[in-house]
């Protein structure tokens, strides 16, 4: 009787997958994720639009700024502006709110409540001077809004809401300075802040006319350094100078 031969088998390395293995891997492999707009991308686009709008409104005012130019500067399109903000006036309101929000955020970082009174007051004056000097769009936005009689600022509750903590911080500095004997006078915090702001902004908002009057560039770095030191001295001298009885 003839001997039956076993079917021939093909040998393969133990780590080589079979066709069935490959099919299984293909079936179970994770499907590539669809690319979807990320929230951070939308936030970045909104931020670029807002930055471009702040600059445009500062330079040209509400009536002169153009939506298409803002979109181009922000590397966005007009439709995105309407999607994120609604319209030109709404964009201006958002830019104005952002203008105030930025300076208030930096002021909070001064952490005035933890500073000795004299140091805290000096830091506030120096910060205000430096911020206005380094942010011409802030000065221009506030100037333009004053030309409009503050019409839009009055519609933004955050303008007054975020100023209140600053006034409270100034009042606290003055009170602690009075208690320690470093400060010799009482003063309404709003009056003091208007003085600080005036010392820091007048030479910027009237730079060109004052430069013509005095025949010197009020934007010169050396002049600005002298002005900064003068602003600090005026405020600190007012607070620390001895007062005659009854004053």
Mean pLDDT of 33-46: 69
Are the C-beta atoms of 194 and 234 separated by less than 8 Å? Answer: no
State residue 224's pLDDT score: 97
**Residue 136: is its pLDDT beyond 80?**
yes
**Residue 27: is its pLDDT beyond 50?**
no
98: containing domain: 94-240
Pairwise CA distance, residues 121 & 123, whole Å: 5
Mean pLDDT of 119-136: 98
Q: What is the CATH number of the domain that holds 225?
A: 1.10.357.10
Q: Degrees (nearest 5) of the Cα angle 165, 171, 174? A: 145
**Residue 242: is its pLDDT beyond 70?**
yes
- 135: Cα separation from own chain's centroid: 10
State residue 155's pLDDT score: 97
**Residue 174: is its pLDDT beyond 80?**
yes
State residue 14's pLDDT score: 41
State residue 81's pLDDT score: 95
Task: Enter the DSSP assignment of 154.
Answer: G
State residue 247's pLDDT score: 57
**What is this structure's pTM?**
0.81
State residue 6's pLDDT score: 43
224: in domain: yes
**Residue 18: is its pLDDT beyond 80?**
no
Indicate the number of domains in the chain.
1
Question: Which residue from 92, 99, 110, 170 is spatially nearest to 132, judged by alpha carbons?
Answer: 99
Please give the share of the chain, as a percent, with pLDDT higher than 70: 82
State residue 33's pLDDT score: 52
Which residues make Cβ contacts (< 8 Å) with residue 14, sequence separation at least 6? none
236: in domain: yes
Q: How confident is the model at residue 42 (pLDDT cuts 50, 70, 90)?
A: confident
Pairwise CA distance, residues 124 & 112, whole Å: 8
Residues 115, 119, 125, 128, CA torsion sign = negative
165: in domain: yes
129: in domain: yes
Pairwise CA distance, residues 43 & 54, whole Å: 16
204: in domain: yes
Q: How confident is the model at residue 24 (pLDDT cuts 50, 70, 90)?
A: very low
State residue 13's pLDDT score: 43
- 34-48, 53-67, 122-136 — which is least confidently predicted? 34-48
């Amino acid at each position: 009787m003839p001997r039956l031969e076993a079917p021939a088998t093909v040998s393969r390395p133990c780590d080589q997958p079979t066709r069935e293995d490959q099919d299984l891997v293909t079936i179970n492999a994770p499907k590539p994720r669809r690319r979807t707009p990320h929230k951070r991308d939308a936030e970045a686009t909104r931020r670029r639009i807002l930055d471009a709008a702040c600059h445009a409104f500062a330079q040209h005012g509400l009536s002169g700024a153009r939506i298409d130019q803002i979109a181009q500067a922000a590397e966005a399109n007009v439709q995105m502006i309407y999607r994120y903000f609604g319209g030109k006036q709404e964009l201006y309101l958002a830019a104005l709110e952002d203008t105030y929000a930025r300076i208030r955020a930096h002021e909070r970082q001064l952490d005035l409540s933890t500073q000795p009174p004299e140091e805290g007051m000096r830091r506030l004056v120096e910060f205000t001077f430096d911020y206005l000097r380094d942010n011409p769009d802030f000065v221009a936005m506030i100037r333009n809004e004053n030309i409009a009689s503050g019409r839009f600022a009055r519609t933004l509750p955050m303008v007054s809401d975020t100023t209140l903590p600053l006034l409270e911080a100034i009042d606290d500095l003055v009170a602690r300075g009075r208690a320690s004997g470093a400060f010799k006078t009482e003063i309404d915090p709003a009056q003091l802040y208007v003085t600080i702001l005036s010392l820091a902004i007048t030479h910027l908002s009237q730079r060109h006319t004052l430069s013509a009057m005095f025949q010197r560039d009020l934007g010169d770095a050396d002049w600005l350094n002298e002005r900064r030191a003068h602003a600090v001295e005026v405020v600190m001298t007012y607070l620390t100078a001895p007062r005659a009885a009854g004053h």
